[in-house]
Every structure is written in C-alpha cells, then in structure tokens.
Amino acid sequence: MSKNLILVLNCGSSSLKGAVLDNDNGEVLLSCLGEKLTTPDAYITFKKDGQKHRVELADRHDHTGAVGALLDELKKYGLDADVKAVGHRVVHGGEKYSASVLINDEVIAQLEACIPLAPLHNPANLTGIRAAQAIFAGLPNVAVFDTAFHQTMPEHAYTYAVPRALYKKYAFRRYGFHGTSFRFVAPEAARIIGKDVKDCRLVIAHLGNGASITAVKNGESQDTSMGFTPLEGLVMGTRSGDIDPAVFGFLAENANMTITQITDMLNKKSGLLGLSGLSNDCRTIEEESGKGHPGAKLALDVFIYRLAKYIGSMAVAAGGLDVLVFTGGIGENSDIIRERVLGYLGFLGLKADHEANLKARFGNAGVITTADSAAVAVVIPTNEELMIAHDTARLSGL
Ligand code: AMP
C-alpha cells in the first residue's frame, strides 16, 4: 500500500538537513545531513534504521546535488514514489505570513522580499525550495515559517521604542523565531496537565544552541525573547542575547572594530562560548564547571540567571503561569540547568521534584515539579519536523 511520506528540508547556506516522515504515524524513515555544500568537499550523511553512511557529492556539490543524492537514496529503498510533498523550514516570513503556506510563484516573490530581514537564512531556504522543485518535479512544496506563530504578538510586545519611521519604512520590529517548536509544544504541555491549550498560561523555554522563550495565552504567542533577529534575548551557545546597543559605538571607537566584526562577535563568539572560552556545547560547559573551571562556571551562572529572569517577565506576558515548559537539546536534557532555574522561581510557587527532574531526560517527557507547586514545570521533547510534515500534508490536501 502506498504511504504518505513527506520530505522535510531545512537548508542553510552550506548545509541541508532532511528527514522523510510517514505522515500517518510520525515515523522518520530516513534522515540526512549535507555539509560543506557549494565547496568541492561537499558530502551528505544518510541515516536509516540507526545506520549511517556517507556519500561524497564531488561532482554535484550544491543543494540541488544534495537533494538529488537524497532522491537516489530513497530509490534504493523503493520509497521515492511514496514521497507526496515537500515541507521547507523557512526562517523569516515577515509580517506577511502568520501560518504555513503552499508555495507558488507569488510566495517565492514574497520570500525574496523578506531577504533583507534574514539575509543569511532566507536565501538558503529559497535555494532548498528551488532544489526540491527541480529534483522532485511536480510535488507540492510548503513553507513553514519560524516567525509565523509569533504574528499574534500584540503591538506593545513587538514594537521597539525607536522612531516610528523605522517600523513604517523597514518593518523594523520584533518577530521572534522557533515558532514551529512552540506551536508543537504548547498543546502537548496543555495535554499533560489535562487542559485545552486555550485555557492555559504557558511559558515555553526552547533551549538549544539557539535559545528563546515564549509566553502563550489562549493558545497564541503573546511575547517572545528573540526580536528583529535571533540575537536578542537569552544567552545562547554563541550569541550574547540582550546587550546594551551602545556596545557598537564603544567598540568602534575603542577597539577599532567594524559593525560587521561586532555583529559577528555577538552572534558567533559570545554566549556560552565567549564566557567560558571553551565551547558553545552545554555538556562541555556543565562538565568543566563541575571541575571548577571559572569561565564555564560563570557561563552557566549567567545563562541560568538570564533564563530565570526571562521566565518571570514572560509570566507577565502570559498573565500568570500554569505551565513552564523546557524543550530543545538543553531543556530536554540538562537536569542541572532546570533545577537551578527552578531554584530562582520559588516566588512563583514552583518547586523542583529532584527525582522526577533526573528522570525527564534523553527523550523522556514529564512533570518535574512537586505536587504542591502552584504551577507545573514539564519537560517535552520538541518535534519541529513532525509539525512541518503535518502542515505540509494538510496544505497539500493529503
Ligand atoms: P539543539 O540545538 O536543540 O540540538 O541543542 C543543542 C544543545 O543541547 C547543545 O548545547 C548540547 O550541549 C545540549 N545538550 C544535549 N544533550 C545534553 C545533555 N545531556 N546535558 C546538557 N546539555 C545537553
């Protein structure tokens, strides 16, 4: 019997992440990661049934070549004819898109118009769309935006206090990202406490290498920590998060740095990496902090304090707190960070359940607060690919 398989693509400028999901049961049948694309060293790694193997892309080293190699791999298993649609993670939909959309020429033109808002990401996403259109000719393509979920933010939450002309002329405002993850996690969290998402006040911390936190009320995003770009907000693997914008003038004058150099430093050399001088990887930071490394210890302290502070402010945006959710690689696995964050939140009535917190790791969901807590904290593994696959199937009429 023919399956309803959806190919989910997430393209970066030199990378391509792909997953083929069975839309009926959410199973991932094949996944891949193409790296160093557009260079002669390009290769793609496929994973099926826990086994990995690598294919060099020498003579077809661009994104289209990588998608072509993926089609060849699907043919090997006789799965190619079952792929019915392609879903694309698209970083920026601007103010135009508050939901996923079936891609046509007009949508492509709109995505091109959004390039100034996401100059690093949207061109790569468009490359992925064109590659899929060329290799999987005739299949429907769907764009699923990181920004879409946050289009419900009220004006007072998305507006920066700068001259109004900047918004009118350049659409300079807060957008927020990780929307697909928040949209997946919110109803799951409500289900765990036996409520409808529309009746819950949620604060969701998506903590991965990139990290952001969102307030959800009535099932809708009310505020989120990332802004015009993903740089704003929490401390991240390599991003500073919130910082006084005067740092640009200060470093230009005193360190002779250019705007590009400062932007690069704030995005790629700051956060856990910059503070520790060791790594952007939270596991390394935790290990070294445990051994007494002062930079790693400070990195963890700043990360945790900023996160706790943001949870308090997001509880304001949600009008209170019923459920605090931890997700993303760090949120799903770091019992250390979760317990220390909860330690700051006693005033909101949250009390960590030490044993439950230790159990909720490595893919295990669960409540991590004690029964007498005034609000519940839960760990929920996110699944952005599944969300993209479901949207893609729905909009493709499957
Ligand atoms: P993501 O971007 O969602 O894949 O998350 C990546 C982050 O999750 C990295 O900083 C990892 O170090 C972190 N992470 C993964 N496993 C663990 C773990 N067991 N303990 C702490 N952090 C973890």
303 Cα: distance to centroid of ligand 1 (angstroms):
14
As a whole number, mean pLDDT of residues 105-109 equals 96
Is 146 among the residues known to form the active site?
yes
Distance of alpha carbon 300 from its chain centroid, rounded?
A: 21
306 Cα: distance to centroid of ligand 1 (angstroms):
18
Q: Residue 19's pLDDT is what?
A: 97
CA distance linking residue 250 with residue 343, whole number of Å? 36
Which one-letter DSSP state was computed for residue 148?
A: G
Coarse DSSP helix, strand, coil percentages of the chain, rounded to the nearest 5 percent: 45, 20, 35
pLDDT of 221 strictly over 80: yes
Distance of alpha carbon 72 from its chain centroid, rounded?
A: 29
Which one-letter DSSP state was computed for residue 1?
A: -
Which one-letter DSSP state was computed for residue 369?
A: B
pLDDT of 2 strictly over 90: no
CA distance linking residue 355 with residue 308, whole number of Å? 21
pLDDT in tens, 223-253: 999 999 999 999 999 999 999 999 999 999 9
Selected catalytic residue, list 22, 62, 146, 391: 146
Q: What are phi and psi of 386, to 5 degrees?
A: -65, -45
pLDDT of 284 strictly over 80: yes
Q: Relative to the CA of 210, which ligand 1 atom is closest?
A: 2
pTM above 0.75, yes or no: yes
Average pLDDT of the chain? 96
Q: Residue 282's pLDDT is what?
A: 97
